[in-house]
Chain A
Amino acid sequence: MTDDATTGAPTTSSDLAPGTAGAGLPAYDLMLDERRRLCPLPIIALARAAAADPSPVRVLLLADDPAAETDVAAWCAMRGRTLSWTGPSPDGHGRAYLVTAPTP
């Protein structure tokens, strides 16, 4: 998957470094760039991240499938997560969703 450059933000799902992209993005522990992938793939990526050990508390998902706007919220409701923020992607392509796990 090619990736439009995002300034200063981790852009691959293997990058576990916490960070923020500045530019109005909230802090996160893991960024998943699922743009150019259709639902349910972005939701499956969220679920994989949630199943990892240790699992990140704050996941920032980038997705451009319009179905994600509904499906991220629906998945959060089904899995006890919170969709705590959503806004445009840093580079303007697609949307960003911050999904937060309940703190133990």
Chain B
Amino acid sequence: MAHVSDDVPRSGAEGSDLPAHTPPWTPRGYLDAASSLPLHPAGREALLAALDQGWADPSRRYHDARRSRLLLDAARESVASVLGARPDEVSFTGSGTQAVHLAVAGLVRGRERVGRRVVTSAVEHSSVLHAARLAAAGDELRAVTVGVDALGRLDLDALGSVLEAGDVALLAVQSANHEVGTRQPVAAARDMADWHAVPLLVDAAQSVGREDLPTGWSVLTASAHKWGGPAGVGVLAVRTAVRWRSPSPDGALAGGRVAGGVDVPGIVAAAAALEAVERDRVAEAARLSVLVDRIRATVAATVPDVAVLGDNVDRLPHVVTFSCLYVEGEALLGDLDREGFAVSSGSSCVADALTPSHVLAAMGALTHGNLRVSLPPGAHDDDIDRFLAVLPGIIARVRASAGADGL
């Protein structure tokens, strides 16, 4: 891809009116950044170097091992500084999902004499809901989901009642919703959790590298491939004072929080990619947010019977979701794919289990004909122009083929 080698930032000059522009590294038409990003060029360079330099077991006591250890420690320090954590609070896992599973299971284990209920928003990532259900061990009353409003935002009054009732092991609230982009009131939830001395797990997978992160969490999780790191690296950050007990067999831990070997090259690549996206983050977020505004406004104006979902202001800078009446999500994805666009859908026909997105259902939003557009850093303006140009025709065609035009 020609634009990958574009390593001269097209902006950023002091005093320039032009917004900073992250050099793009994703393919044309790729608008599914909230699912995954390809490896950032800086991450790729770091990975190749670390494959040679960081292959040895960092826990051993010889030259090559010490070199691995130094690379790992530097990567940990770099990621910790972005998260607002101390390096010794940060561990790396094999994925964001694994980080979430360990976060929930470890808090439940650490708090087993204090509280048993796992309280989450109804719109958490499925990894959080699955871990909560497992922790509840078949007792449905122990996995408590707190509802959201029509924008997908946590109902704080309902949360208050749940916390008031006690017997809580942990509260899990995402930084922002992965499907509709709405930011959660993490600060308010944190104050309520603090009041009840309940630890707060923040799944920040969609926010790291994209926006300022919440503070005051007890445990935070993230996933490197959402910011341009490799797919096999997740982050588990546990505050020193938090009672978290590893659910893994003790002997496997070697003093850490995560059992098993450490992928030093992958972690080094993840840290390098994060450093690279952090450099332009604020300006790039502002640029993408304007593109999202344009998508929200144009879709609402050019597509009949569409519901543009989520909060239009207090939201992630790069995510927009809408549902089109009488449209089959799978047909929509197929037609867009043929036009060269990669997007995702929360509609049931697209899901493995043929159930609609739990996020859309919790919001009471139309679940069919759903599209999520999530912009990669460096997203091309003209990709968005072309997407907005072809979308109304595609939706009209899908409606017509279902005999639903004019309804």
- Contacts A/B (CB < 8 Å), 30 sampled: A38-B328, A39-B347, A39-B349, A40-B326, A40-B404, A41-B402, A43-B326, A43-B368, A44-B402, A44-B403, A44-B404, A47-B404, A47-B407, A51-B406, A65-B348, A65-B354, A66-B348, A66-B354, A67-B348, A67-B355, A67-B356, A67-B367, A70-B360, A70-B364, A71-B356, A73-B364, A74-B364, A75-B325, A78-B305, A78-B307
B356, closest chain A residue (CB): A67
A77, closest chain B residue (CB): B364
Scoring A50, A65, A70 by chain B CB atoms within 10 A of each residue's CB, the highest score goes to: A70
A38, closest chain B residue (CB): B349
Within the assembled complex, what's the spacing in Å between the Cα atoms of A47 and B404? 8
B407, closest chain A residue (CB): A47
Within the assembled complex, what's the spacing in Å between the Cα atoms of A22 and B361? 30
Is chain B's binding surface mostly helix, strand, loop or mixed?
loop
Within the assembled complex, what's the spacing in Å between the Cα atoms of A41 and B396? 16
B404, closest chain A residue (CB): A44
Q: Distance in Å from the Cβ of A63 to the closest Cβ of chain B?
A: 12
The reply to whether A70 and B361 contact each other, CB–CB distance below 8 Å, is yes
Scoring B305, B366, B368 by chain A CB atoms within 10 A of each residue's CB, the highest score goes to: B368
A69, closest chain B residue (CB): B361
B306, closest chain A residue (CB): A78
The reply to whether B366 and A78 contact each other, CB–CB distance below 8 Å, is yes
Q: Distance in Å from the Cβ of B330 to the closest Cβ of chain A?
A: 9
Taking CB atoms, residues of chain A closer than 8 Å to B404 are 40, 44, 47
Scoring A65, A66, A67, A78 by chain B CB atoms within 10 A of each residue's CB, the highest score goes to: A67
Q: Distance in Å from the Cβ of B151 to the closest Cβ of chain A?
A: 14
Q: Does chain A have a CB within 8 A of B327?
A: yes
Q: Does chain A have a CB within 8 A of B317?
A: no
User: Chain B 250-281, CB within 8 Å of chain A: the 1/0 string?
Assistant: 00000000000000000000000000000000
Taking CB atoms, residues of chain B closer than 8 Å to A71 are 356, 366-368
| Band of interface residues on A | 20 to 34
User: Chain B 349-386, CB within 8 Å of chain A: the 1/0 string?
Assistant: 10000111000110011111100000000000000000
Taking CB atoms, residues of chain B closer than 8 Å to A78 are 305, 307, 325, 366
The reply to whether B356 and A40 contact each other, CB–CB distance below 8 Å, is no
Q: A70-B360, A78-B305 are in contact. Are A38 and B348 (CB under 8 A)?
A: yes
Within the assembled complex, what's the spacing in Å between the Cα atoms of A44 and B305? 13
Taking CB atoms, residues of chain B closer than 8 Å to A74 are 307, 323, 364-367
The reply to whether A43 and B325 contact each other, CB–CB distance below 8 Å, is yes
Taking CB atoms, residues of chain B closer than 8 Å to A38 are 328, 348-349, 354
The reply to whether B354 and A51 contact each other, CB–CB distance below 8 Å, is no
The reply to whether B326 and A47 contact each other, CB–CB distance below 8 Å, is yes
Q: Distance in Å from the Cβ of A89 to the closest Cβ of chain B?
A: 18
Q: Distance in Å from the Cβ of A68 to the closest Cβ of chain B?
A: 9
Task: Given contact pairs A38-B354, A66-B355, enumerate 12 new A-B contacts (beta carbons under 8 Å).
Answer: A40-B402, A44-B407, A51-B406, A67-B355, A69-B361, A70-B360, A70-B361, A70-B364, A70-B365, A71-B366, A74-B307, A78-B307
